[in-house]
Amino acid sequence: MTGSDALNAVLALPVGAAVLLALLPGYRVSSWINVATSFLTLLAAASLLVLDRPVPGNYLQVDDLNIVFIVLNTFVGFTAAFFSASYIGHELETGRLTPANLRFYHAMYQIMMFGMNLALVSNNIGLMWVAVELATLSTVLMVGLYRTPEALEAAWKYFILGSVGIALALFGTILVYLAAQPVLGEGTPAMVWTNLIEAAPQFDPALLNVAFVFLLVGYGTKVGLVPFHAWLPDAHAEGPTPISAVLSGLLLNVALYAVLRFKLLMTANAEAVAPGPLMIGLGLLSLVFAAFMLYRRRDIKRLFAYSSIEHMGIIVFAFGIGGPLANFAGLLHMVMHSLTKSAIFFAVGNVAQIKGTQQLSEIRGLTQSHPMLGWGLVLAVLSIAGMPPSGVFMSEFLIVTTSFARAPVLALILVFGLLLAFGALLLRLTGVAFGKPTGENHPMTGSLLPLWLHLALIYLIGLHMPQAMVAWFQTVAAILG
């Protein structure tokens, strides 16, 4: 097997599975096919790490930057599929979903995975745009899966805001093409990343500037940056929980990846406006705003959705600051956030199932009534809040220390936001995990395995990062400049 085979597999497996799943009626088989496909995709993606990389073509490529994202994407895709397989049957029993819904769900899951994988491996700004749109539209449909007024409302909001975002990103893409076209000539080559990056210094900086604004707003909507975030909390809260995990853990990363790619382009052109300050501003705004919003949340999934906004803010801030340490920290934080937030959603799914509600006020004393789940949730939330030994602590350590030495005022705002968010998360956690257990007590079907697997990984990375991963992150951090 060669690298290009693996690359093709990463894309072909989900498409094939989607077709198969759309045809199969039984949800049990489907759910395990879903898991198996996701696992195979993960294997294919992981094999990219060791195999020779395929030569970048006009449409696809694998490089140091996107391989991080691909492996992470397929990994969380697999664990979420596993969680979903143990979890989603219950929704059928409670009558929230019909078998037809589930068939649609599984097919869409793979299409969504395909869209995200494609966006990550694409070597073409047009193709990337198409792929991100595909992933967005498929998640819109997933969010509205329950057909409740709330879910439809959330899906609709997501759809409208997402569409506008897509349109703006497209305009940005067109502008980049226009900037590249005089240098690289007409046609497809002027949309290929590998060409763009090389030729970027000769691009018209003014055009690049306008393009970046549109791309930042457009893809930033997907990342969930404030003030483009409005779709995110509702979409997370109203969709099926495995999808919330995928949304928070993966889709945001894919959009972030797009932003990073264009940031590279901007930095390559010396005369263009520096993307850092813009990203720093939006990052801090997202962080502080989301931190305040955490205090008034009553729905557990919406709470963690806002926490995703907050963390996206931190990551964008880190990349905005730049430099080897901050970039390293940003990458690490992104990986950790994906793993931790999806772990949290795995736990939250079970909690919502047990208690029959997502209302924070009706969930109490989980460590008492369900120790493994409760303590798992406690550890995951503490991890996301930056408590050691999770990797989030390491990334926040690096971000805060390095940014304080370079931009003290910004670091102070950062610290303020972090603390604010910490206070809010902990307040809710204390209520949910401790105290006298109250409320209903339905049986729990969802597996705790993915939750604890993620936790183990988070702690492993926090304490002893594998050498290969370090080297790889350092390379990428250097690329990001």
The answer to whether residue 459 forms part of the interface with other proteins (CB under 8 A) is no
In the complex with other proteins, the residue whose CB is nearer, 21 or 411, is 411
* Contact (CB, 8 A) for 342 and 301: no
253 Ramachandran zone, left/alpha/beta (phi>0; psi -120 to 50)? alpha
- From the CB of residue 95, how many other CB atoms can be counted at a distance below 10 Å? 7
* Interaction residues for other proteins, span 209-268 (CB under 8 A): 209-210, 213-214, 216-217, 221, 227-228, 230-231, 233-234, 237
* Residue 481 touching other proteins (CB under 8 A): no
Cα 213 to Cα 111, 286, 299, distances in angstroms: 29, 17, 34
Q: Of 150, 445, 453, 459, which lies in the binding site for other proteins, with binding defined by CB under 8 A?
A: 150
Give the C-alpha distances (Å, rounded to integers) separating 26 from 30, 51, 61: 6, 37, 36
Asked if residues 7 and 54 have their Cβ atoms less than 8 Å apart, the reply is yes
Nearest CB to other proteins, comparing residues 44 and 143 = 143
Q: Is 295 in the site for other proteins (CB under 8 A)?
A: yes
Name the segment binding other proteins (CB under 8 A); options: 13-21, 67-75, 193-201, 431-439.
431-439
- DSSP secondary structure, 139-163, as one string: HHHHHGGG--HHHHHHHHHHHHHHH
- Chain residues 296-315 in contact with other proteins, contact rule CB under 8 A: 296-299, 302
Chain-centroid distance of CA 73 in Å reads 8
- Rounded distance between C-alpha atoms, residue 367 and residue 247, angstroms: 27
Closer residue to other proteins (CB): 359 or 441: 359
Least CB distance from residue 18 to other proteins, whole Å? 18
- The correct pick among 110, 422, 452, 458 for binding other proteins (CB under 8 A) is 422
For 367, other C-beta atoms within 10 Å of its C-beta total: 18
The interface region with other proteins, picked from 65-73, 77-85, 89-97, 392-400 by CB under 8 A, is: 392-400
Helical H segments across 239-384, by residue range: 241-246, 252-268, 275-294, 300-321, 323-355, 366-369, 371-384
Figure out which of the listed residues 19, 55, 167, 478 binds other proteins, where binding follows CB under 8 A. Answer: 167
Mapped onto helix, strand or coil, the DSSP state of residue 2 is: coil
For other proteins, the closer of residues 1 and 436 by Cβ is 436
For residue 13, the minimal CB distance to other proteins (Å) is: 24
**20 or 210: CB nearest other proteins:** 210
Q: CB nearer to other proteins: give 36 or 183.
A: 183
**Which helix H or strand E contains 239, and what residues bound it?**
none
Minimum distance of other proteins from residue 1's CB (angstroms)? 31
The footprint of other proteins on residues 76-95 (CB under 8 A) is none
Residue from 62, 102, 170, 377 binding other proteins (CB under 8 A)? 170
Buried b (16+ CB within 10 A) or exposed e, 300-309: bbbbbbbbbb
Minimum Å distance from CB 133 to other proteins? 7
Element (H, E) at 95: none
As measured in angstroms, the least distance from the Cβ of 359 to other proteins is 6
Cis amide bond preceding 227, omega within 30: yes
Instruction: Tell me which of 4, 15, 24, 171 binds other proteins, using CB under 8 A.
Output: 171
Is 34 or 286 the residue whose CB approaches other proteins more closely? Answer: 286
Please spell the DSSP secondary structure of 276-303, one letter per residue.
HHHHHHHHHHHHHHHHHHHTT--BHHHH
| Nearest approach, Cβ of residue 227 and other proteins (Å) | 4
Q: How far is the CB of 19 from other proteins (least distance, A)?
A: 19
Nearer of residues 89 and 404 to other proteins, judged by Cβ:
404
Member of 248, 358, 373, 444 binding other proteins (CB under 8 A): 358
Residue 443 φ/ψ, nearest 5 degrees: -65, 155
Residues 400-419 close enough to bind other proteins by CB under 8 A: 400-406, 411-412, 415, 418-419
Cα–Cα dist 322/476, whole Å: 12
Residue 434 within binding range of other proteins, rule CB under 8 A: yes
Q: At 218, is the secondary structure helix, strand, or coil?
A: helix
CA distance 134 to 116: 8
- 16 interacts with other proteins by CB under 8 A: no
Query: Could you say which of 15, 49, 92, 273 contacts other proteins (CB under 8 A)?
Result: 273
Report, in Å, the least distance between residue 415 CB and other proteins: 5
Nearer to other proteins, 194 or 445 (CB): 194
| Choice between 470 and 478, CB closer to other proteins | 470
By the rule CB under 8 A, 347 interacts with other proteins: no
Closest CB to other proteins among 251 and 400? 400
Site size for other proteins (CB under 8 A): 107
Nearer to other proteins, 100 or 463 (CB): 463
Residue type, 277: P
Q: Virtual CA dihedral for 375, 449, 51, 8, nearest 10 degrees?
A: -120
Q: Which of residues 31-50 bind other proteins (CB under 8 A)?
A: none
CA-based max dimension of the chain:
69
Among 8, 22, 92, 292, binds other proteins (CB under 8 A): 292
Q: What b-and-e string marks burial along 450-460, b requiring 16 or more CB atoms within 10 Å of the CB?
A: bbbbbbebbbe
